Amino acid sequence: MDFTRRAVLKAAIASFVTSISGQATARGGQGKKVIVIGAGIAGLAAAHTLRSLGAEVIVFEAESYIGGRIRTDHSMGAPFEYGAGWIHGPSRANPVKKLAMQVDAPTFITDDDSLELQNMQRQPVNEADYQWIDDQYEALLRKLEQQGRRWGDRSIYQVIQDVAPVLLNDPRAQWMLSAFIEFDLGAGIEEISAAHAFADDKYRGEDVILPKGYDGILTPLVEGLDIRLNTPVSRVFYGDEGVLVEGEHADYAVCTASLGVLKAGNILFDPPLPDAMRNAIEGIGFGTVTKIALKFERAFWDVHTQYFGIMTEPKGRWNYWINYRTFSEENILLGLSFGHYAPVADAMSKPAMTADALEVLRSVWGRAVERPSAVLATHWSQEPNFRGAYSYPQAGGTIAQYESFESPVAGRIFMAGEHTIFKYHSTTHGALMSGERAAKKIASL
Ligand SMILES: Cc1cc2nc3c(=O)[nH]c(=O)nc-3n(C[C@H](O)[C@H](O)[C@H](O)COP(=O)(O)OP(=O)(O)OC[C@H]3O[C@@H](n4cnc5c(N)ncnc54)[C@H](O)[C@@H]3O)c2cc1C
């Protein structure tokens, strides 16, 4: 922006803030005006908390819907979750579980052990293979978790090269590394930090899905909020006097745009964000995961099995399938792509992606696989307001980079979102907690 315009805007902020500065010093939310950028769960939690503490809040959301990466499509008869599908660790301490309880949302435990694994030559693996996969996975996790510091800046791939090279040439291990680790972390094992991959915290309890839709949990957060949809924020001006966002003045702003959006520089901060934060934006990884839901006239698979694993090549290509018949009446298989294949899949058109996924299914079930009657698919890395699925600890990065998001910028800009909370990153509960954290900090000023 040119200097003259900047000066005019600063003057505008100054004159506006003079009129509200007296009230802004009160404790709690009373007398404070806050702009929240993004109506995902972090933004909604921040706005809800601030409003309940008496603040005036406006939420600017670029998309035409609320929820961000919590996005449910109900058109198939059973919910298709574009984004979050599970409540991870649904103990009573988990704030997302609390929301689910508040709206009486039924939950369903997806049994990880209900798995049928096959190679692409239609040969199921035998019991000994399952055992081998379990043993290798546990041994690797133990090494990664217990000796974390030893791995320094190395990626999981580099550590495996050292400690278990056999895994890199075995199709069973390739499947395990992708369907377990690349799914969990949302990136290729070549990029994920071995030291930090499993250093986060978890709530207790077996993961559950919400068979009536994840979006239902947002209801208690949304009530009474001033949410402006289809309103992308492109510039955030801030200074001693307050903030100016899309022509709206306020005392503070909470930015919950995804790490992908921050990396792409979609939002211009003036003055620029501090070096430590820019370093974090660069140093923390942001990957993608692709989902496709295929609805069929009849089920050609064993309807009682929860998951089907397929040892595809290249690694990560539609290698994990969820059977909807275990929790709904619908003949839907939901396929997932991970690691380096996920951005490849994301870039495909819907017909191309459907053909690619059907080819994998036909490698197992042959001609029994008919054309689907409905298809829904995700392209998270292609979406300008997200640019990926979730953050991950990148090789060479530090936990301090996540922590840099905890301090407000110039006492005015507060960062929230799943990428700002290392302990619970990449989760809905982490995002929610980060929003509440920002709100409480503002209220305490
Ligand atoms: C495929 C996938 C699977 C997942 N699975 C799980 C799971 O099973 N369990 C789990 O706990 N988590 C899961 N997650 C992660 C979880 O969905 C996220 O951690 C969480 O929803 C992030 O919330 P957030 O508020 O931080 O960000 P978002 O939901 O991204 O919210 C940010 C909002 O900001 C808006 N925005 C962006 N730019 C602008 C702008 N310039 N101006 C205004 N608004 C803007 C966006 O449109 C968005 O609505 C998954 C995510 C994906 C994508």
Q: What pLDDT, on a 0 to 100 scale, did the predictor assign at position 149?
A: 87
Separation of alpha carbons 404 and 205, rounded Å: 30
Q: What angle do CA 426, 59, 240 make, to 5 degrees?
A: 95
R_g of the chain, CA atoms, integer Å: 23
Domains 3-67+213-284+396-444 and 111-206+290-377 share a fold: no
Place of tokens 């990136």: 187
Q: What pLDDT, on a 0 to 100 scale, did the predictor assign at position 5?
A: 41
Domain extents in the chain: 3-67+213-284+396-444, 111-206+290-377
3-67+213-284+396-444 homologous superfamily: FAD/NAD(P)-binding domain (3.50.50.60)
Ligand 1 centroid to residue 68 C-alpha, Å:
5
Of all residues in the chain, the percent with pLDDT exceeding 70 is 94
Residue range 196-224, pLDDT digits in tens = 999 999 999 999 999 999 999 999 999 99
Place of tokens 């934060």: 277
Q: What pLDDT, on a 0 to 100 scale, did the predictor assign at position 72?
A: 98
Residue 26 reports pLDDT greater than 70: no
CATH architecture of 111-206+290-377: Alpha-Beta Complex (3.90)
* Residues forming beta bridges with residue 179, ordered by sequence position: none
Backbone conformation region of residue 375, classed left if phi is above 0, alpha if psi is from -120 to 50, else beta: beta
Pocket of ligand 1 (CB under 6 A): 37-43, 60-63, 68-70, 83-86, 88, 232-233, 256-258, 261, 266-267, 289, 291, 378, 380, 385-386, 389-390, 417-418, 426-428, 431
Q: Average pLDDT over the chain, rounded to whole?
A: 93
Q: What pLDDT, on a 0 to 100 scale, did the predictor assign at position 16?
A: 40
Ligand 1 centroid to residue 85 C-alpha, Å:
12
Residue range 380-437, pLDDT digits in tens = 999 999 999 999 999 999 999 999 999 999 999 999 999 999 999 999 999 999 999 9
Best CA proximity match to 44, nearest among 239, 249, 220: 220
Place of tokens 């993961």: 207
pLDDT band at residue 4 using 50, 70 and 90 as cut-offs: very low
Separation of alpha carbons 39 and 46, rounded Å: 10
Number of other residues whose CB lies within 10 A of the CB of residue 85? 22
Ligand 1 centroid to residue 157 C-alpha, Å:
27
Best CA proximity match to 321, nearest among 352, 272, 365: 365
Q: What pLDDT, on a 0 to 100 scale, did the predictor assign at position 430?
A: 98
pTM for the model stands at 0.94
